A and B are shown apart, each in its own frame.
Chain A
Amino acid sequence: MNIGPVVRKEFRQIRRDKRALGILIFIPAVLLILVGYALNFDVKHLRLAVYDEDNTRTSREFVNSFVHSEYFEYKYHALSKRELDEVLNDGTAHLALVIPRDFSQNLLSGRQATVQVILDGSNNNTAAVASGYVAAGIQDYSRKILTEWLEKRGRPLVIPIDIRPKLWYNPELKTAKYLVPGLFGLILMIVTVISTSLSVVREKELGTMEQLKTSPLKSYEIIIGKAIPYVVIALISASLIMVLGALLFDVRIQGSIPLLYFAILIFVLGGLGQGLLISSIANSQQVAFFVSVFSSLLPSFLLSGFIFPIKSMPLVLQVVSNLQAAKFFLVIVRSIILKGVGVGAFWEQFVYLSLFAALTIGVSSVRLQRELSR
């Protein structure tokens, strides 16, 4: 098999094109930093405004009980309901507590006291998380009152079921830990699909492909020779993400690294197949680029479960999400990196990835072979 000359030539061309090489290497780093730092779903330091009509020791103690956490920041003390409206309107506060005048009186006399929580719902994600925090805080406080009240009367409180949630794999619930493994799919797609399809179509445009066709090179030698450099670059990109992920976001690989590389290799082969398939259809670099972006980058960003959970999508999109490999790859990568589990946990995804790679490479080879030998 005579693939050396094509591989060498391809590497030389990649090296010559400093801009493309820069993009291939820096896009992963830039994406990692952008996604890791900017895409943050952690809700902390919520700005709290309080309108305390009661203004007693009890009410102040109540407010303090959950202000002393990293989730809330006591930002504003309102003196009227109107003031409260204003700080919510201009965004000074994310949420507001209204403590009615009879709060302490009701509590001390054993009646039920009420508290109003007003949330800025314009960011539904933040509002949902904030309301959960507030509810938990208030519940904690009322349990404390109840316990004290019963203890005073010599009857210790036993709560029938106590919940003690323990979060596995990502105990601090850091967004970056969830996103960094997901980035693999996105970045490897860019490197493989777009660059392979462009590199083949460029030769078609320049007419060098025709020259290769009249040479004794077999078409599979051309295809393999062109693919190898991009596999190597994809593996380098993947390693870069791993190192940066560990250094910047403390994402350490819990599972087997060889297994991870093996999964990456199969995924990359699928991406190459997809790129080659596009290059067998497209005749200009522009067309190849747009088809590549629409068929790889967008699905692997939106439909892979990278950010948006697939289970909460409409059924049609859930079905469509099966047409791309990134979704399955992400399950594997998260399993290996975060959970440290072995092949047994995701062999179905492995089978699917292998099928995807075999299918795209098979179909594109047949198509290119036909095209190359015409």
Chain B
Amino acid sequence: MTNSNNDSAVIVDGLTKKFGNFVAVDQVSFKVKRGEVFGFLGPNGAGKSTTIRMLCGLMSPSSGTATVGGYDVGKDPDGVKSTIGYMSQRFSLYEDLTVEQNINFYGGIYGLEGNRLKERKKWAIEMAGLKGKEEILTQSLSGGWKQRLALGCAILHEPPIVFLDEPTGGVDPVSRRNFWDLIYTLSSSGITVFVTTHYMDEAEHCNTIGLIYAGKLIALGSPTELKHQLDRFAIFEVVCARPIDAMEILQREPWVNETSIFGSSFHVSMENIPAAKEQIVETLGQRDISVDRLDRIIPSLEDVFIHLIAEVDKKQL
């Protein structure tokens, strides 16, 4: 146990936060290994932000514990703050200051001085690709540049753990890709990255994923492990006319577990029964819907999450 704890940068145990009668985070437990990229996912209002705020020492838990870099978030929030870097979706740069002034400021509040500040400033400017743009006002930078500068400012003091709260919101796909390259670089240099996101393709990049829904952690594991949870189901992609009607018809069948729309097609997850394909074609055929294409697919993370969330909702009904 001690051994495994030593490998963990973040240990969360029974973490709970209540606001009056509302339980925002309910008995959440997980561990984040040193140097891994941990993806924390969940719909808006599921308790994602509240959890991050507790882990960053901004809010103390109602019950349960969490240690970040060895510091207890409830008892020693200042210790936590000294060991983490934090970057939010809003990038938190001063738009009316220049690139260099922003770096100087964030370096200053983390107590960086002299040569170390110079060295880290050089590193951050190179990392963000802002060489020669030091004197430019931050407000005139594009989204991707702001994002990388914000990351640079957040990890100027070389924290062993970095929290990134939806860091790629509102940024173009190329910048997103570049940003993930940066995240991998950080992680390979031993920095633990705790990241929240809405994008499923980004979730696939994580070593471990935690899914929070209605305050509870409903899934935890690597992307592959999570997909195996759906092994007892077969997932088909259906292309046909009147997809909405078709989904409704299939939903009524006892052997269908879940349907969800994906663009012009839809996915059906069903019990792994023999002759499943024929069953679908026949059922839809009886209602005059001809199937154009029908393929068994490997479940995506999105399938997994929709499935898991639907199961929680079913239980609550």
Is the C-beta of B109 less than 8 angstroms from some C-beta in chain A? yes
When C-beta atoms are compared, the residue in chain B nearest to A208 turns out to be B92
CA distance A210 to B109 in the complex (A): 14
What A residues does B59 contact at CB under 8 A?
A: 374
* Choice from A8, A13, A216 contacting B96 with Cβ under 8 Å: A13
Please give the distance in Å from A314's CB to the nearest CB on chain B.
43
Report how many residues on chain A are interfacial, defined by Cβ distance under 8 Å: 24
Please give the distance in Å from B160's CB to the nearest CB on chain A.
14
What B residues does A210 contact at CB under 8 A?
A: 58, 88, 90, 92
CA distance A6 to B97 in the complex (A): 13
Please give the distance in Å from B299's CB to the nearest CB on chain A.
36
Is the C-beta of B185 less than 8 angstroms from some C-beta in chain A? no
Q: Are B109 and A13 in contact (CB under 8 A)?
A: no
What B residues does A232 contact at CB under 8 A?
A: none
Q: Are A214 and B94 in contact (CB under 8 A)?
A: no
When C-beta atoms are compared, the residue in chain B nearest to A212 turns out to be B109
When C-beta atoms are compared, the residue in chain A nearest to B81 turns out to be A216
Chain B residues 141 to 170 lying within 8 A of chain A, measured CB to CB, are 154, 163
Q: Are A216 and B88 in contact (CB under 8 A)?
A: no
What B residues does A216 contact at CB under 8 A?
A: 78, 81-82, 109-111
Q: Are B81 and A215 in contact (CB under 8 A)?
A: yes
* Choice from A5, A206, A207 contacting B108 with Cβ under 8 Å: A5
Q: Are A211 and B108 in contact (CB under 8 A)?
A: no
**Secondary structure dominating the interface of B:** mixed
When C-beta atoms are compared, the residue in chain A nearest to B137 turns out to be A16
Interface string of B42-58 (1 = CB under 8 A from A): 00000000000000111
Is the C-beta of B93 less than 8 angstroms from some C-beta in chain A? yes
Please give the distance in Å from B35's CB to the nearest CB on chain A.
21
Q: Are A5 and B109 in contact (CB under 8 A)?
A: yes
Is the C-beta of B84 less than 8 angstroms from some C-beta in chain A? yes
Is the C-beta of B86 less than 8 angstroms from some C-beta in chain A? yes
Is the C-beta of A213 less than 8 angstroms from some C-beta in chain B? yes
* Choice from A2, A6, A214 contacting B81 with Cβ under 8 Å: A214
What A residues does B290 contact at CB under 8 A?
A: none
Is the C-beta of B77 less than 8 angstroms from some C-beta in chain A? yes
Is the C-beta of B184 less than 8 angstroms from some C-beta in chain A? no
* Choice from A4, A208, A215, A217 contacting B94 with Cβ under 8 Å: A208
What A residues does B111 contact at CB under 8 A?
A: 2, 216
What B residues does A211 contact at CB under 8 A?
A: 86-88, 92, 154
What A residues does B154 contact at CB under 8 A?
A: 211
CA distance A17 to B139 in the complex (A): 13
Interface string of B83-106 (1 = CB under 8 A from A): 010111011111111000100111
Q: Are B97 and A8 in contact (CB under 8 A)?
A: no
Please give the distance in Å from B202's CB to the nearest CB on chain A.
21
With A208-B94, A213-B58: A8-B105 Cβ-Cβ less than 8 Å: yes
What is the interface of chain B, defined by CB distance below 8 A to chain A? Answer: 56-59, 77-78, 81-82, 84, 86-88, 90-97, 101, 104-111, 154, 163
Q: List 7 A-B contacts (CB under 8 A).
A: A2-B109, A5-B108, A5-B109, A206-B90, A208-B93, A211-B88, A211-B154
